[in-house]
Amino acid sequence: MLTGRTAVITGGAQGIGLAIATRFADHGARIVIGDLDEAKAKEAAASLDADAIGVGCDVASDADVVALLDAATAAFGSLNVMVNNAGITRDATMRKMTEDQFDDVITVHLRGCWNGTRRAAGLMRETGGGSIVNMSSISGKVGFVGQTNYSAAKAGIVGLSKAAAKEVAHLGVRINVIQPGLIRTSMTEAMPNRIWDQKLAEIPMGRAGEPDEIAGVALFYASDLSSYMTGTVAEVTGGRHM
């Protein structure tokens, strides 16, 4: 489904990002993994059964994002798919949250997504189009206690994506959003059991999702199967908070 296309995935060295990179590679894409940890990015790229490179990238830095996309086009000659997935958490109640904790999350998620979206769209518009997939969260829809920073950033990604999609649709660039729910990753599995059980009880399907289930939706958005879709938001939550 992605043969001959180059896909860049930020935050791609582990978790959902690596699952997306793996699924894309399985469908013939050339892969560029961007990650704050350059060594892990290169290790992840080497693990894929595909033409792949790993590049160190701080998505909060516009210069780093430009360098990441330059590396992609230098290595593979094109940029066809961009997945803005990199993120962090700095959870705390609003009363206890510091300005730095708020700013760090907003900067990485929201400005990082903006950097990736505008730079990728700028390249794609010159070459006939492409697909951008931005990673939000169900937290951006409903808001969670202790995540005023994260919920604000993830809601902002939806608005950013819809506005950007309107700007570049006529140029063949599509921009869509995924909102994962409770997905089984090393980060979520580190939750206290009582918190995990509480979240699980909210899911009509009765289970957590797997990273590969997010990757399947990312593949749909990246491929021609979604060729008439832009500015949409896919909730991948097992029915939680529908």
**Given this model, what pLDDT does residue 30 score?**
98
**pTM (predicted TM-score):** 0.96
Distance separating alpha carbons of residues 214 and 216, to the nearest angstrom: 5
Domain 6-235: give its CATH superfamily. NAD(P)-binding Rossmann-like Domain (3.40.50.720)
Q: By CB neighbour count within 10 A (0-12 exposed, 13-18 middle, 19+ buried), where does 223 fall?
A: middle
In the annotation, is 221 catalytic?
no
pLDDT tens, position by position, for the chain (242 residues)? 999 999 999 999 999 999 999 999 999 999 999 999 999 999 999 999 999 999 999 999 999 999 999 999 999 999 999 999 999 999 999 999 999 999 999 999 999 999 999 999 999 999 999 999 999 999 999 999 999 999 999 999 999 999 999 999 999 999 999 999 999 988 788 888 898 999 999 999 999 999 999 999 999 999 999 999 999 999 999 999 99
User: What's the rounded Cα separation, in Å, for the pair 12 and 84?
Assistant: 9
The confidence score (pLDDT) of residue 119 equals 98
Give me the residues paired with residue 235 across strands: 179
Exactly one of 24, 102, 150, 221 is catalytic; name it: 150
Tokens of 101: 């904790």
List the domain boundaries for the chain: 6-235
Residue 185 main-chain phi, psi, to 5 deg? -130, 175
Nearest to 84 by CA among 6, 159, 142, 11: 11
User: Hey, what are 27's tokens?
Assistant: 């469908």
User: pLDDT value at position 121?
Assistant: 98
Q: What is the pLDDT of residue 74?
A: 98
